[in-house]
Every structure is written in structure tokens, then in C-alpha cells.
Amino acid sequence: MSLLNFFQWCEQSGIGDTIRRSSWLFPVIEAIHLLGLGVIGGAVLVVDLRLLGLGLRRQSAAQLARDAQPWLLGSLLLMVITGGLLFLSEAIKLYYHEAFWFKMSSLFLAIVFTFTIQRKVIMAGETQLRPVWSKIVAVVSVLLWSGVGLGGRWIGFS
């Protein structure tokens, strides 16, 4: 089964069909998707600002990352669920949309980066690493997550 076949199968699924037939389901799911984006944004930014030496400077990045973790994971789950539903309703359009593939690549990289490299740098603390590395990690993290958000927004533009 080719990738296109899979996308066609998704498009023809009962859930996708239900969302397409409804005039309000897609907008409502999309709005919830946007709320999730906002919360992810906050959870990512509060840690990245700290790594840049801004925001809550008196707390350790590790502590902030731990505090933000449930909100990051929770909103990420919300986004995957709502995003999955949106995907089912227009899979074929997305297959041919560059912004979708850009977004998925950014998402993959952002998740891998956040939970491996960034996690290691944060847990290493300021003592073991030169501050410049924290800053680089923060900038990369902001760029990757911005790629996800903006890629998502550009799916809506034709």
C-alpha cells in the first residue's frame, strides 16, 4: 500500500466523512487545535526564554521544564488528536500540500529535539555547559516549534 493509498483510505474513513459533511465540526476542531497551539507555545517559550537568560531567571531551567512538562505533553496530545481528526477530513488535499509536509517534518524534528538534545542540555544545568549552548538550543527549539505552527497556518492558505 503506497502512501497515497493510505491518505486516500484516511480521506474515505467514516470520521473524515462525518467531519466533511458537517458545516461546524471542522471549524470547532480547528479552534481547539489553535488553543492547544497556544498552550504548547507557552510551555515551550517559558523554558526557552529561561535558556536565553530571560523570563524566570531565578528558577533553574530544569525546574521550569519539569513544571511545564504536563502542560506541554497535555497540549501536545490535544493537538495530535484534533490534528488527526482534521487530517482525516482532508487527507488528499494535504498529500499534495507542501506546507503539510513542512509542518510534519518540523513537528518530528521539534519533538525529537525537545525530548533528547534539549532535555540533556537542560538537565546538565549551567555548571557543565557553556551558556552559549543553552542559547543555541533555545533558538533551535523556538525555530522548530515556530515551523510547526506557521506550517500549520499555511496549510489553510491556498
Partner 1 sequence: MQIRLLTLLSAMVLALCYGVTARTAAPNWGDAGHQILVSSTVTLQATPSHGIGSALLAFFSRLGDSTWSTGLHESRYAYDLIESVHVWTLCLFFGLAVLFDLRLLGWTMRRVPVSEVASRLLPWTVVGFISMVTSGTLLFLAIPLRSYQNIFFRTKMVMLLLAGLNVWIFHSGVYRRVATWDVARVPPRAARVAGGLSLALWVCIVLSGRMIAYNWFDCDRQPQRPIVNFLTSCVPTQSEEH
Residues of this chain that interact with partner 1 (CB under 8 A) are 23-24, 27, 30-32, 34-35, 37-46, 49, 54-59, 63-64, 67-68, 70-71, 146, 149-150, 153-154, 157
CB 94 within 8 A of CB 87: yes
Residue whose CB is less far from partner 1, 75 or 118: 75
Backbone angles phi, psi at 101, to 5 degrees: -70, -35
**Least CB distance to partner 1 at residue 25 (A):** 12
- Burial environment of residue 14 by CB neighbours within 10 A (0 to 12, 13 to 18, 19 or more): exposed
Grid coordinates standing for 25? 465540526
CB nearer to partner 1: pick between 7 and 50: 50
Which residue, 57 or 120, has its beta carbon nearer to partner 1? 57
Shortest gap between Cβ of 4 and partner 1 (angstroms)? 27
Spatial separation of the C-alpha atoms in residues 12 and 5, rounded to whole Å = 11
- DSSP-based three-state secondary structure for 55: coil
Name the minimum Å distance from CB 27 to partner 1.
6
Least Å distance, CB 117 to partner 1, is 21
